[in-house]
Structure 1
Amino acid sequence: MITGAPAAMDALQRWLEAEAALKDASDNTITAYRADVAGFLGFLAGHTGGGQGLAALARVSVQDMRAWMAQERRAGLGARSLARKLSAVKTFYRWLSEREGFDASAVLSARSPKFQRKLPRPLSIEGARDMLGTVELQAREPWVAARDVAVVTLLYGSGLRISEALSLTGADLPLGESLRIRGKGGRERIVPLLPVARAAVEEYLRQCPYGSAPGMALFRGVRGGALSPRPIQKAMQAARMQLGLPSDATPHALRHSFATHLLSAGGDLRAIQELLGHASLSTTQTYTAVDQARLMEVYAKAHPKA
């Protein structure tokens, strides 16, 4: 595999460190950035002959950008993935050009490929209710069943990502009417804890054979370690097969359902943005399209045909 020149790779490392320290980017984001930009630097090293250090990065042309994007598409990369890679490269170049004092317009002006944004696929209110009731039936041990119910109730009742639910520790006890969640990018938010969610967690704690020390994970695996997402994913997979729900009825779909059902009930978009922890309102606005799409689907089924 071709790699970029040492000076370029060193600049990449410094940029990643800055993203982690100053913007509190998550480990997953840093890993994705590293792969995306390193791949671009590797392409440049082969495309321009390599070994030219940062000077080669400053000389990148519009034609170079087109050649890179064409290569990625020939390799089978979809428009959505290429748009993500281009965004990472632009962010890196914006940072580098400010420090090295060169014009990065050839990179920054590269047009992102158009793609159809996927709308979130929430469950219906009935589907979400059925999922909460059926997940409980998938485990052999009562305390595991109680654990799974508690987790999925938090996902739907508070709009948590599964990683956020599983990051809770004994320090978050005793439970009150809200939870302080540290989400993507280190952003903190306060989410409501409905009585049904609080009761589900308390029932799990009552049955759990392991303690709830402040420094320990709140949700435990069968051997006592911190619970990973996979058991919850498997429990929901079994439940959706039993209910005849589609394959996109995943843990993250419960978070989508939380947002969509709030919006359908008249929830304020800004308030929903805060509850979900979205950095940009445009991300939350996706749910307005979901709500409109569902409305048109109901209309098409119910409207009398001429």
Structure 2
Amino acid sequence: MRKYPLQVDWDLSSESENIEVIPSLLAQSMFFYVQATGRFQANSRYFTRRSHYHSYLLLLTRRGRGKLKYRQKSYTLQPGSVMLLDCKEAHEYGTVGANGWHMDWVHFNGGSSQSYVELIVNNAGPVLSLTDNSVIPRLLDELLLAHRKRRLDADILSSQWIVEMLTELLLQSIHKNSDSAEATYPAYILEIMNEMERNCSAKIPLDELAAQHSFSKYHLAREFKRYTGYSPNEYLTHVRLSLAKEMLKFSRMTITQIAEHTGYNQPSFFIRMFKQKEGITPLEFRKFWSERLD
């Protein structure tokens, strides 16, 4: 990945607002969480150019125009459009024209942010035009107000609002290139997903899955990620850890037994993978939920 050094020109009016947020440890371990949010009235010189920033950005153009360069393509940001980026990737955006660019935005992370963003961008690109009844403008208003007032429940509400906004964009992206109001996965993708969910404790070589459906493994991996947002291996890991979390919540099985049941022959590897994805160890996860289920 090409690395851009951070370059910015914050040519902003005095009415612009930028709120840096320190999410609670609970929010970081459980929720989608806000890293920063704001409302900018940008002047003609405003731009940002960067990469390797560990955040996701949702930006709504209210008035004026902006421009975006992302994944070797250029986009114009018109009023009513939403820009959605994985900021670890190289990107640059800024004002177009002398009339300025007014925008609301939120930098967020946590939860399944990466999966949402990957799937939306893979389906529809990084810029989407909102529908007339979109909830996103209102939710960005609510989110900014909650953090401006430092509400005690801001972390919880922010997670809910981020999910609502991403869900709207995901549904829009799925239907964008479909004539059907009930777009579905291709049958072979569903079969593979179901196979992984039924037999997640077993090794499922990609070569075998591809041969069953008369594809090369490279084509299958590309198409699977196109429709699900995950590589086959990432999806299998997600299925295994989801099952592990259910067992940690509702069973008395040991960590070793849960590891074996979810396809991990080495408990140490299971613990390491769980902590990498969830931010806490399996035992910490079990303790957290047992205290809430008692």
TM-score by length of 1: 0.26
Structure number having the greater strand percentage? 2
Higher relative contact order (CA 8 A, sep 6+): 1
Structure number having the greater helix percentage? 1
Larger radius of gyration: 1
TM-score by length of 2: 0.27
